[in-house]
């Protein structure tokens, strides 16, 4: 139980989840791009698990470990073809502690 005066951060709640990594088989891939679109750049800010980031070359990369499979990236970028998204294989991916 938390103290009413203490604020619980999203990161603290995300820490409760577990993730079983499927090594070498990420369920999301960012397709090669010369310059990221506005939507692809937005993923670096709106992904709740912070899976997307800009590399030193100005391209968006993903680390799918810890992905919550919420679908935000699918809504923003799948129809444009900038990402390739599949469900993780059975037994892999996010394991929610509280449902």
What residue numbers bound the domain in which 19 lies? 6-94
* Mean pLDDT for the chain overall: 84
Q: How far apart are CA 6 and CA 8, in angstroms?
A: 6
* 82 within some domain: yes
Domain membership flag for residue 1: no
Tell which residue, 61, 24, 68, has the closest CA to residue 43: 61
**What are the distances in angstroms from CA 67 to CA 18, 23, 25, 36?**
10, 14, 13, 20
What pTM did the predictor assign? 0.77
Q: What's the number of domains the chain is made of?
A: 1
Q: Which of 9-13, 28-32, 45-49, 71-75 has the least mean pLDDT?
A: 9-13
Which 8-state DSSP code applies to residue 82? S
Q: What is the mean pLDDT of residues 45-63?
A: 94
Nearest to 59 by CA among 71, 48, 43, 81: 43
CATH number at residue 41: 3.30.70.20
């Amino acid at each position: 139980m938390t103290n009413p005066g203490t604020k619980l951060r999203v990161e603290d709640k995300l820490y409760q989840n577990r993730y079983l990594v499927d090594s070498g088989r990420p369920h999301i891939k960012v397709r090669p791009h010369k310059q990221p679109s506005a939507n692809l750049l937005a993923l670096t800010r709106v992904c709740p698990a912070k899976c997307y980031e800009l590399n030193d070359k100005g391209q968006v990369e993903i680390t799918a470990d810890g992905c919550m499979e919420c679908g935000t990236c699918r809504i923003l970028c799948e129809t444009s073809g900038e990402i390739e998204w599949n469900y993780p294989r059975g037994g892999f991916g996010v394991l929610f502690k509280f449902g």
